Structures are given as structure tokens and as C-alpha cells.
């Protein structure tokens, strides 16, 4: 149980285009979903936390107008990188937690590798 | 500020035992997680400690001392597939995970 999927696994796009990444919890309802970014040889960096039906909470330094997050249902959250640039190339990972708040384990998706040319 | 410290890289021999340390300073504490991350893949959950002491799970064990702000992950009978990065993460008073930079473990035959 507790499987999280991400789509696509990898994407290559031209500078200036927008890319949408989907994160789905397959066998549980995810009250809270998290979006992370990881650059090579660095740790995970939390970008934003989203709760179903409400606006995402962005970490300091993350542009909310550039990284659009939608958590429309208890099993789906999307991250849209708008007007992508080469510096946005990174490994984007989502995770989901079945319960709101509390010391709950986060279940990670397999990640999406974004390369912006 | 909040800070998680763990060694950048460690090397061990197949079949041996290795201990990966993690020290932390966070605003509040609601548990400490260890995750394993193979190159190019997402992290996978290994352990969760919220009370002092040792939690054993097969070849992996995790220890916590809240008074010292210290944890370690102990890996026994090392296998080549254990070569990965090991991430220490602390959940703070807001139930947000604060991540360490990870320890890259290299296993040699």
C-alpha cells in the first residue's frame, strides 16, 4: 500500500514553455501533498505544501506565480512550471501524507526529471 | 536557525557494519526519519524515531537521543545494493520535515 505515482518520469522542453507534473496517491487519500526539488548532489528542498481544496503554502524564495500548484482532489496534485528556463532543470519529487498534520510518514513519488533547453 | 548535520560521504566493506550519524537543532521535535535514496530515484522510508532508544528493523537499526539532538542509522551485513544516499530528516513543531544533506554510502567488495 501507500503508493504515489508521478507523471511524466522525465521531460525535456524548450525555454519559455510550461510543463505540468502530476502526482497521484494510488491507494490512499492524501490530505497533504508536498513538492520538492533536488539539484545534483544536494538534499531535498521543499518548495510547497498543499492541502486538498486550499491554496498551497510556498517556502520562502519559491515563486508561486512560476510554480503553480493545484490540489483539486484527495488523490491528485499538479505542479506547473511556467515559462521554464534552464535553471529550472532539476529533479522534482512529490510526496503525500494520508493525514493532515501530525508526525506522519511521507510517501514519495518516483520523481520527475525536468531538463529545459 | 534549523540545522541537520550528517557526514557527506562514508565508505564501508561488503558484509561489514556502518553507523551513519545525524545531529540536529530544530524548532521543536516531532520525530526523526531516515530515508534511503538511490541515485536518480526518490527517497524510500527506512525508519521513524520519536522516543529515545533503538528501533531495530532487520539489518537496519535507528537510534535516537532527544537530549543530545542525535541519531544514528546502523546498517549490518552490508550488501552492494546498500550503496545509496541516506537522508536524515527531523519533523519540527509545525510538522514540517527539515532535511539533512544526506550521506553518500559507498560499499566496496
Count Cβ atoms below 10 Å from residue A50 Cβ, excluding itself: 26
CB B36 within 8 A of CB B44: yes
Closest residue in B to A93 (Cα–Cα)? B42
- Whether the CB of B31 is below 8 Å from some CB of chain A: the reply is yes
Mean pLDDT of B39-56: 91
Digit-coded pLDDT (tens) for B76-87: 999 999 999 999
- Whether the CB of B46 is below 8 Å from some CB of chain A: the reply is no
Q: B91 and A113 in contact by Cβ < 8 A?
A: no
Count Cβ atoms below 10 Å from residue A46 Cβ, excluding itself: 18
Q: In the beta sheet, which residues pair with residue A13?
A: A116
pLDDT for the residue numbered A7: 95
Q: B43 and A108 in contact by Cβ < 8 A?
A: yes
Amino acid at each position: 500500500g501507500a503508493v504515489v505515482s508521478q507523471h511524466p518520469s522525465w521531460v525535456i522542453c524548450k525555454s519559455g514553455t510550461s510543463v505540468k507534473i502530476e502526482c497521484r496517491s494510488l491507494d490512499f487519500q492524501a490530505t497533504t501533498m508536498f513538492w520538492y526539488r533536488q539539484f545534483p548532489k544536494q538534499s531535498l528542498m521543499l518548495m510547497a505544501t498543499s492541502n486538498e481544496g486550499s491554496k498551497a503554502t510556498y517556502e520562502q524564495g519559491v515563486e508561486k506565480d512560476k510554480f503553480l500548484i493545484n490540489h483539486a482532489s484527495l488523490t491528485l496534485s499538479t505542479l506547473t512550471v511556467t515559462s521554464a528556463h534552464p535553471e529550472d532543470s532539476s529533479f522534482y519529487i512529490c510526496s503525500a501524507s494520508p493525514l493532515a498534520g501530525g508526525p506522519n510518514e511521507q510517501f514519495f513519488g518516483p520523481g520527475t526529471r525536468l531538463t529545459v533547453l | 536557525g534549523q540545522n541537520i548535520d550528517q557526514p557527506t560521504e562514508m565508505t564501508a566493506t561488503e558484509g561489514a557494519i556502518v553507523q551513519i550519524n545525524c545531529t540536529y537543532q530544530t524548532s521543536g521535535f516531532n520525530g526523526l526519519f531516515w530515508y534511503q535514496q538511490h541515485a536518480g530515484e526518490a527517497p524510500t522510508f527506512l525508519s521513524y524515531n520519536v522516543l529515545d532508544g533503538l528501533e531495530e528493523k532487520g539489518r537496519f537499526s535507528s537510534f535516537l537521543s532527544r537530549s543530545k539532538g542525535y541519531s544514528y542509522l546502523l546498517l549490518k551485513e552490508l550488501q552492494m545494493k546498500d550503496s545509496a544516499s541516506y537522508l536524515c530528516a527531523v519533523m519540527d513543531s509545525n510538522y514540517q520535515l527539515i532535511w539533512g544533506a544526506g550521506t553518500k554510502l559507498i560499499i566496496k567488495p
